[in-house]
Amino acid sequence: MQFSAFQLNHQFINQLWERISRPQETAATGSEFSSVFLKGNIPSPEHLALIIDAAYWASFATEEGDPVAASIMLKQSEHASDTFHFDTPLDFSSKTLVKLGPALENPKADIGIWPDQNGILKIWGFTPSTHELIKPDFWVQILGPGRVLIMYSGRTIAAMTGNQAVFIDPRGIFQTLMPRIAAQAQPGETKLLNLLRYNAILKMVQQMRAHGKGGIILVVPENKNWMQSIKSPIKYTGGANFLDMSPNQTQLPPPDSPGFSHVLSLIEEMNLPHQKDWIEAWQQVQQQISRIARLTAVDGALVMTFNRYVYCFGAKIRAQNIKASSANLQIIEPFEGHVDMTAPYSSLSGTRHQSAAQFAYDQPGSIAITASQDGNVTIFTRSDHSDTIHTIQHAELILLHEGLGGSLWNLAIFSEMGWFEKEAEKAGKKYVSAVIRWLKSTLHRE
């Protein structure tokens, strides 16, 4: 007699289906973002379980020695020049995902699935994936062994990680990291730039994770204190921001801008002649992130400012304060209902994690981020009020894998948690509405 060694929890599937099928669960707080985050195709509860189950088991497989990564989207067949259609739709199974995954990883493409006339899920083809549009449909990404992201309406709702099925809530990460970022803002600078810095850091870590070699990114204030925690000599040192901007391209608001009123006028202008320029500016930042992230493949740590100016890479961390080994770790996870736990410093495994935690302890105000070769991402920063080291685990699940949709959900959380300036709060929804008007006209392309 045979029994299933693993079965999805029915309660999890039912709760997940209820969340994606109810409009209020897919819109941000205050519903101001509902006009951007449209509802897309939703699977039946049975198909929902089948899609997650197939993706989960495919994640543990290897194809010619490499782990499988794949993107699966529930959408009807499209007739576009860049879409590949199979003459005969393929069976949807973990085996098929394992075979197709490596061919559609770089550059990434979404595997399209849809029920046939008999209600059986089939793979009809694939289409190039883009991070510049919000994807409203039900969407699953395989990130690595035992890691599956479950997305809908442009944001990550849930995940499979190891033997856990969890609902995602990134607010704890926001509360931990945003004060570090905000502390480095220039006087008079709009607070919206803090969100851009936060999203850029997450995107850079995503790309560091993608090269599979592991790495460390040390984000530091603009001073020389970080050098006390780096062994000399530093072989790969110099300095660059790797950002190319064309002379006629619209710039982000300068540090001495008047703040709220200036940004509001810029956002309103983005609906008209400057919309193309701002899209190009974002693409330039994306290119900058790629240029920086590739340097993390060199053994050692990359050191950069919160504005992504790179001081060095391949750097070796040295202990400055031996008290770090007696510090406690406050474990933070991006899961709903998570209660922070405390663990001893000795619970850290691997020299990469220990070195990053040591740096965060020795350099208050900094953020140390590690990516292991198996895809785990951990973020460290020291508490302002004690010797505790805030330790964000499972951070690989919140690295903007949704593309622009993830960035905009972060904007919703940023607004919800009161990180805008007081002038924006006094203006009520006018500030966010100005952003939304531009987003809607830019992102909802036919």
Pairing of strands 70-74, 109-115: parallel
Same domain, 74 and 134: yes
What would the DSSP string read from start to end of 231-256? PSS-SEEEEE------TTSPPPPPTT
- Tell which of 117, 143, 167 closes a domain: 167
Q: Which pLDDT score, from 0 to 100, does residue 106 have?
A: 78
Indicate whether 42 pLDDT > 50.
yes
The mean pLDDT of 210-224, rounded to a whole number, is 94
Q: Considering the chain, what is the average pLDDT of its residues?
A: 84
Would 5 be classed as within a structural domain? no
- The domain boundary residue, chosen from 123, 152, 167: 167
**114/211 same-domain check:** no
Q: Would 144 be classed as within a structural domain?
A: yes
Query: Are both 278 and 227 inside the same structural domain?
Result: yes
With respect to residue 81, please indicate whether it lies within any of the assigned structural domains.
Answer: yes
> Is 4 within the bounds of a domain?
no
pTM value surpassing 0.85: yes
Same domain? For 86 and 137 the reply is: yes
Q: Does any domain span residue 1?
A: no
414 and 319 in a common domain: yes
Residue, of 421 and 212, whose pLDDT is higher: 212
Span 133-186, pLDDT tens digits: 778 899 999 999 999 999 998 889 999 999 999 999 999 999 999 999 999 988
Domain harbouring 124, CATH code: 3.40.1700
pLDDT band at 321 (very low <50, low <70, confident <90, very high): confident
The answer, yes or no, to whether residue 348 has pLDDT greater than 90, is yes
In this structure, are 134 and 150 located in the same domain?
A: yes
pLDDT (tens digit, 9 = 90+) per residue, 231-290? 998 889 988 888 765 434 434 444 344 444 554 554 455 444 445 555 666 678 888 999
Same domain? For 234 and 114 the reply is: no
Query: Does pLDDT of 3 surpass 50?
Result: no
pLDDT of residue 331: 97
**Do 46 and 189 belong together in one domain?**
no
Closest residue by Cα to residue 50 from 138, 126, 125: 138
Distance from C-alpha of 207 to C-alpha of 393, rounded to nearest angstrom: 18
Q: How confident is the model at residue 30 (pLDDT cuts 50, 70, 90)?
A: very low
Instruction: Indicate the pLDDT class of residue 322, thresholds 50, 70 and 90.
Output: confident
- Greater model confidence, 439 or 325: 325
Same-domain status, 122 and 180: no
Distance CA 2, CA 97 (A): 25
Bridge-based pairing of strands 84-91 and 121-128 is antiparallel
The amino acid present at 379, given as its one-letter code, is: I
Across 195-210, average pLDDT? 93
Q: How many domains does the chain have?
A: 2
My answer on whether 162 and 38 are in the same domain is yes
Q: What pLDDT does residue 58 have?
A: 95
Sign of CA dihedral 136, 137, 138, 140: negative
**DSSP conformation class of 170:** T
- For 135, the domain range is 10-167
Q: How far apart are CA 36 and CA 444, in angstroms?
A: 8
Residue-wise over 12-39: b if at least 16 C-beta within 10 A, else e? Answer: bbeebbebbbeeeebbbeeebbbebbbb
pLDDT at residue 284 in the model: 80
Q: What is the CATH number of the domain that holds 343?
A: 3.40.1700.10
Phi and psi, residue 432, nearest 5°: -65, -35
Is there a single domain that holds both residue 246 and residue 361?
A: yes
What spatial distance separates the first Cα and last Cα of the chain, rounded to whole Å? 53
Is there a single domain that holds both residue 102 and residue 247?
A: no
The band of 426, judged by pLDDT with boundaries at 50, 70 and 90, is low
Residue 361 located in a structural domain: yes
How far is CA 204 from its chain centroid? 9
Query: For the CA atoms of the chain, what is the radius of gyration?
Result: 22
Residues 370-412: pLDDT tens digits?
999 989 999 999 999 899 999 999 999 999 888 878 888 888 8
What pLDDT does residue 252 have? 42
Residue 278 lies in a domain: yes
What is the predicted pLDDT for the residue at 403? Answer: 83
Where is the domain boundary, 167, 186, 216? 167
| Predicted local distance difference test score (pLDDT) of residue 418 | 80
Q: Which residues contact 38 (CB under 8 A, 6 or more apart)?
A: 134, 136, 153, 444
Burial 125-143 (b: 16+ CB within 10 A, else e): bbbebebeebbbbbbbbbb
180 lies in a domain? yes
Angstrom distances, CA of residue 169 to CA of 117, 322, 378, 397, 413: 37, 34, 16, 10, 10
Percent of the chain scored above 70 by pLDDT? 80
pLDDT tens profile 108-128? 899 999 999 999 999 999 998
